[in-house]
Structure 1
Amino acid sequence: MNKALLIIDYSYDFVATDGKLTAGEAAQHIEKSLYERIKQSYNDGEFIFFMMDAHVEEDYYHPETKLFPEHNILGSKGIELYQSIRDLYNEIKDDELVFFIEKTRYSAFQGTPLQLLLKERNIESIQLTGLVTDICILHTAIDAYNLGYDITIYKDCVASFNQVGHEFALSHFEKTLGATVE
């Protein structure tokens, strides 16, 4: 079965202590596990998709502007991959197994070519990592479920700024979407 690893929104704005919409220590805590997971998937010849939340400054038409402060602005430091994940991406980015896709909605499937790229590569199973467990990971998982993918979420590679939401999402993945939570 062809597998793909998705790294969702592991950006400066979501991870750094001074990020615009940071999950702070919880997001920083998963960096080593996330690095190891990416490295292992790459060494195993799996497809890797870096999916990045991307916004323009003062986009008052985007629904998130009513809910969250501006974050992951195109051209800013905030949208860059965070530290060791950025360094690893720079090492592997030229490989045909590695993709970087900007997204403007919570789900990595909405308004992106992700579904087409997965289908072209006969990928049946996706592994979700990154941020934020109860927002972008959750919405991506729901879309993946509706599209018929086998889903795995790695607990040591997801985090949120809301611990209650994080725990709810982990339970929802397993009990409602039938995902594997490891």
Structure 2
Amino acid sequence: MKALISIDYTNDFVAEAGSLTAGIPAQAIHDRILELTKEFTERGDFVAYTIDRHEADDSYHPEMKQFPLHNVAGTWGHDLFGDLQAYYEQTADLANVYWTDKRHYSAFAGTDLDIRLRERGITDITLIGVDTDICVLHTAVDAYNLGYQITVVSDAVASFNQAGHEWALNHFKTVLGATVI
């Protein structure tokens, strides 16, 4: 079994009105994100939605000093972008579909994602989502350190920083040994 790790593809990171949006580059990968999510889900592979979550009054979180308030629990900004939200709602009860909120960039930091993957004997993970050079990158570094084989789908990741996006794609290959397709 393989796993698809979908990272932060939410309204606040993707929609034009999102509070920390990657905008057009992130919107352009919508169909590919949805296609891969459906493919992995319908094949019975493990699909983890790993979603940044904040509280409006959390003044202690370091991101609150660096970025505008975003992905606040219970808001439109925390919902998945576009057709992905409806697809998640249709499949949320499947045994192979999992949602975990995260407080930090990496999908592994402070979550039980590693345990869930190991319980299933998963060693190969595919990463999609935003932002390539922030949350996708930090997830990939942690996955590398945990011994996972990593694939990054280059037409299913995006960033608000094109130079950072390109740098991260190269870093995945040359430093983390990931397969970038």
Give the TM-score, by structure 1 length.
0.98
Match of 1:154, SS state, is strand
- Percent identical among aligned pairs is 50
Matched letter for residue 132 of structure 2: T
Shift, 1:75, TM fit: 1.3
Distance, in Å, in 1 between the alignment partners of 2:41 and 2:10 is 20
* Structure 2: runs of 5 or more not aligned: none
The amino acid that maps onto 2:149 is D
Equivalent residue, structure 1, for 2:99:
100
SS in 2 for 1:123: coil
Shift of 1:91: 1.4
- The answer to whether residue 132 in structure 2 is matched with residue 133 in structure 1 is yes
Q: 1:92-143, CA deviations, whole angstroms, 9 ceiling, x for partnerless residues?
A: 1110000010000000000001011011110001100001000000000000
User: Take 1:89 and 1:41, find their aligned partners in 2: how far apart are those partners?
Assistant: 13
**Which residue of the partner structure matches residue 48 of structure 2?**
49
CA-CA distance at 1:57 after TM superposition: 0.5
Residue aligning to 2:146: 147
Q: For 1:78 and 1:36, how far apart are their aligned partners in 2?
A: 22
1:59 and 1:90 map into 2 onto residues whose CA distance is 28
Instruction: Please list the CA deviations of residues 28-70 of structure 1 after superposition, one character each: whole Å capped at 9, or x if unmatched.
Output: 0000011111111112211000000000003111010111000
Pairs within 5 Å for 1:2-151 = 2-151=1-150
Match of 2:173 in 1: 174
Q: Counterparts of 1:109 and 1:101 in 2: how far apart (Å)?
A: 10
Aligned partners of 2:12 and 2:57: how far apart in 1? 16
**CA distance in structure 2 between the partners assigned to 1:61 and 1:42 by the alignment:** 36
Q: How many residues of Structure 1 are paired with residues of Structure 2 in the alignment?
A: 181
Amino acid at match of 1:30: I
**SS, match of residue 109 in structure 1:** coil
C-alpha separation between the residues in 1 aligned to 2:87 and 2:155?
A: 18
* Amino acid across the alignment from 1:180: T
> 1:49 and 1:98 mapped to 2: Cα distance?
6
Match of 1:165 in 2: 164
Query: 1:14 corresponds to which letter in structure 2?
Result: F
One-letter amino acid matched to 2:178 = A
1:60-90: CA deviations, max 9, x gaps?
1101011100000011110001111111111
List structure 1 runs of 4+ shifted beyond 4 angstroms.
none
